[in-house]
Amino acid sequence: MSTQAGYQLSHLDELEAESIHIFREVVAEFEKPVLMFSGGKDSIVMLRLAEKAFYPARVPFPVLQVDTGYDFPEVIETRDRWVERLGVRLIIASVEQAIKDGIVVDDGKTSRNRLQIGTLLHVIEEEGFTAAFGGGRRDEEKARAKERVYSHRDEFGQWDPKNQRPELWSLYNGRIHEGEHMRIFPLSNWTELDIWSYIGREQIEIPSIYFAHNRRVFERDGMLLSESDHNPLRNAEEVKERQVRFRTVGDLTLTGCLESSASTVEEIIEEVAISRVTERGATRGDDRFSEAAMEDRKKEGYF
Amino acid sequence: MDEQMDLLRFATAGSVDDGKSTLIGRLLLDSKAIFEDQLASVEATSKSRGYDYTDLALLTDGLRSEREQGITIDVAYRYFATPRRKFIIADTPGHVQYTRNMVTGASTADLGLVLVDARQGMTEQSRRHAVLLSLLRVPHLVLAVNKMDLVDYDEEVYNQIHRDFTAFTSKLTVPDLTIIPISALQGDNVVTRSDKMPWYEGPSLLHHLEHVYVASDRDLVDTRFPVQYVVRPKSDKWHDYRGYAGRVAGGVMKKGDEVMVLPSGLTSRIAGIDLFDKEIDEAYPPMSVSVRLEDDLDVSRGDMICRPKNAPTPSQDIDAMVSWMVPEPMRVKRKLAIKHTTRTARALVKNIQYRLDINTLHRDQDTHELGLNEIGRVQLRTTQPLLCDPYATNRDTGSFILIDEATGVTVGAGMIN
Ligand SMILES: Nc1nc2c(ncn2[C@@H]2O[C@H](COP(=O)(O)OP(=O)(O)O)[C@@H](O)[C@H]2O)c(=O)[nH]1
């Protein structure tokens, strides 16, 4: 503990205590929880908090990843190490397979991130999950600022922002009907800086692509994208080698990186502290189309 | 990052146009919680609407439907930090028809920030905001007298509002009141002290938020540990481990303490307190820990660990102030689910004693129901004893929510008398 005298927790300890409380509450009250794992730093911090909440017992729920088919290999490697160390069950829901099975439709215009929605909802329904932990934070985007920690989804997996349940004190209401489920956001009150500070403090292993490395990249729509077979070059696009890092790790055809020499958590914290562009605004192609883009996707059941 | 940063949660309330969004926008902007792309989008919107200034209020309004209506209608949470503190703002709408949202925002707040327009002084709305914050036992209250620029930074305007508000809050439970003259638009006394009001000798708003002392607001005397979950690893290495997981709701717990478990009344001693893989010396609110006991007692979720000579009295008759949150009114004889700490039971509404007029504090005894956004004193009978304290001594063990069993919706929030 960082503060003994004065009985005042540091902000990270208080956030940690709140998140652990949420994990335990969900496991006590829901029959079939699952943790939605993107491979990114937020979902890894979630796993770490879950590990703490139930230690020395095992994390008592499986981890679900939606495989877009366009994931960074570094992210998969880190995921596998975490899953092995914690001994949790990993469920992989493949977008590719969902397309083949006709569960989602790839019309060539819809991004993989959006196809994840249908794939995800299908798995939740198939497996009968009643609660799904997501790594969303309220500081990420305006539309998230009003989202509850327990976010109710109807039988179509939809979120109704006008009709959210009031959430008071730390008394969470986990009532759902047959076929419905609850999205749970244990990191609601964390900011990007809190996440990084915690990763630094706890020395949490995250995918290497968050740190500065040399990569062959090209520019598209003002973003630096990674060279890849999934990312065929369009006319006049040119590959060059740069020292870069990623601020979010999603679908590699849409997730941009930035030029950076920050190779340690401390250097990243410094960069984040002075950076003047939001995580999503900078490097997520799928959020940039309109200010209300996020809100629309959330209503449909995006995590 | 400074590891010793702590956390302050505060709730804001103001009537429409008092400048709440402008103030929050300024706090976020000046503490660099606003990013270039957000600011650029707000600048563009301001321009397209023909404003000759950047409308900082645009930084904070959320969902599109609300944007279209031009008002904020739900609690929105916002974040900023200074090197001393991280802040969580529960930004609540001020109008009477959103009382339930204010109650929600205030429920977790260490501090309540009420805004008034200096030109109007104290209004029915600002009185109501103070009443709600006091009812929710928010320990610190700040009144920001905004738009001082529009009254020429006049000391007398401030003094009059100061007198009115102090007189009014003396009738309420307001342990700590601070009144600060500001201009959210010009930035006076928001982050730094303004030279336009040399007559004001107090701190700037941000300075006050950074320094207000909150560590003693929680009950550190009466040990209360609602058991949330029992950790029982099914592994050879941890074969005999049994940890009672929960969040400390009161008191300071130490290894060796004699404890009593309710409702069984059985006693034991604390064998150890674990936080993840470390054993810790003491646990205090709001830490999430696992407590091990020396004896093998039958303890489960919903039980409460406390001290033999200092325990709540289990009771099935609950007398509480209830804030009602749905259109269908609360009526006598209605059956509801009740969630109190980690215990869930069913409750029958036995009596609605009075409805509190939150504008006048008048108690209307002739009422038989509580409607949406109304608050009243209610008696409930529960199917199981609740292990509760008065809300005035402990906000965690003195609060509950009421749930409609058919719809699953949270319909009310209660504070135990
Ligand atoms: N002159 C002046 N105008 C202000 C001040 N604070 C806010 N305003 C203006 O008052 C109007 C309402 O402000 P807004 O922040 O939207 O109020 P809200 O409804 O309380 O969120 C806007 O036109 C603001 O520019 C202030 O300190 N001085």
Which ligand 1 atom minimizes the distance to the CA of B186?
27
Counting as low any pLDDT under 50, the low residues of chain B are 1-2, 62-65, 67, 71
What is the spatial distance between Cα A43 and Cα A186, in angstroms, rounded to a whole number? 10
Tens of pLDDT, residue by residue over B47-80, are: 777 776 777 777 665 444 454 555 457 888 999 9
The pair of three-digit structure tokens given for residue A278, joined into one six-digit string? 């939001």
pLDDT band at A281 (very low <50, low <70, confident <90, very high): low
Q: What is the mean pLDDT of residues A239-263?
A: 90
> CB contact, 8 Å: B177 with chain A?
no
Are B214 and A193 within 8 A, CB to CB?
no
Whether B313-416 and B2-216 are alike in CATH topology: the answer is: no
> Percent of chain A, pLDDT > 90?
55
The answer for B 131-160 residues in CB contact with A (under 8 A) is none
Are A173 and B238 within 8 A, CB to CB?
no
Q: Are A303 and A120 in contact (CB under 8 A)?
A: yes
**Smallest CA separation from ligand 1 atom 4, residue:** B185
Residue A241 has pLDDT above 90, yes or no: yes
Q: Classify domain B224-306 by CATH architecture.
A: Beta Barrel (2.40)
B57 lines ligand 1 (CB under 6 A): yes
Residue A79 has pLDDT above 60, yes or no: yes
CB atoms within 10 A of CB B256: 9
**Chain B residues inside the 8 Å CB shell of A191:** 79, 81, 86
The pLDDT, as a whole number, for residue A290 is 40
Interface residue of A12, A23, A142, A190 to substitute, partner B, most B CBs within 10 Å: A142
Q: Are A38 and A64 in contact (CB under 8 A)?
A: no
pLDDT band at A291 (very low <50, low <70, confident <90, very high): very low
List Cα–Cα distances, B17 to B7, B22, B25, B27, B256, in angstroms.
29, 9, 14, 17, 56
Tens of pLDDT, residue by residue over A117-158, are: 888 889 998 999 999 999 999 988 777 888 899 999 888 878
Are A168 and B104 within 8 A, CB to CB?
yes
What is the residue extent of each domain of chain B?
2-216, 224-306, 313-416
Which ligand 1 atom minimizes the distance to the CA of B24?
15
pLDDT band at A283 (very low <50, low <70, confident <90, very high): low
The pLDDT, as a whole number, for residue B68 is 55
Give the single-character DSSP code of A168.
Answer: B
pTM of the predicted model as reported, rounded to 2 decimal places: 0.92
CATH for A11-193+293-300 is 3.40.50.620
Residue A114 has pLDDT above 80, yes or no: no
CA distance A267 to chain B (A): 11
pLDDT band at A292 (very low <50, low <70, confident <90, very high): very low
Superfamily covering domain B313-416: Translation factors (2.40.30.10)
Question: Which residue of chain A has the CA closest to B34?
Answer: A276
Are A173 and B408 within 8 A, CB to CB?
yes
| Mutation choice for ligand 1 from B15, B16, B17, CB with most ligand atoms inside 8 A | B17
- Between A159-173, A277-291, B250-264, B365-379, the lowest mean confidence (pLDDT) is in A277-291
Q: Are B385 and B314 in contact (CB under 8 A)?
A: yes
Pinpoint the residues of chain A covered by CATH 3.40.50.620. 11-193+293-300
Mean pLDDT of chain A: 86
What is the spatial distance between Cα A51 and Cα A45, in angstroms, rounded to a whole number? 10
The pLDDT, as a whole number, for residue A133 is 97
CB atoms within 10 A of CB B359: 12
The radius of gyration computed from the CA coordinates of chain B, to the nearest angstrom, equals 24
The pair of three-digit structure tokens given for residue B147, joined into one six-digit string? 């738009």
Name the nearest CA neighbour of B273 among B300, B308, B309, B246. B246
The answer for B 256-275 residues in CB contact with A (under 8 A) is 274-275
CATH for B2-216 is 3.40.50.300
> CB contact, 8 Å: B106 with chain A?
no
Residue A303 has pLDDT above 50, yes or no: no
B396 lines ligand 1 (CB under 6 A): no
Q: Map chain B to HEC letters.
A: CCCCCEEEEEEEECCCCCCHHHHHHHHHHHCCCCCHHHHHHHHHHHHHCCCCCCCHHHHCCCCHHHHHHCCCCCCEEEEEECCCEEEEEEECCCCHHHHHHHHHHHHCCCEEEEEEECCCCCCHHHHHHHHHHHHCCCCEEEEEEECHHHHCCCHHHHHHHHHHHHHHHCCCCCCEEEEEECECCCCECCCCCCCCCCCCCCCCHHHHHHHCCCCCCCCCCCCEEEEEEEECCCCCCCCCCCEEEEECCECCEECCCEEEEECCCEEEEEEEEEECCEEECEECCCCEEEEEECCCCCCCCCCEEEECCECCCEEEEEEEEEEECCCCCEECCCEEEEEECCEEEEEEEEEEEEEECCCCCCEECCCCEECCCCEEEEEEEEEEEEECCCCCCCCCCCEEEEECCCCCCEEEEEEEC
Is A73 exposed, middle or buried, given 0-12, 13-18 or 19+ CB atoms closer than 10 A? exposed
**Chain A residues inside the 8 Å CB shell of B238:** 56-57
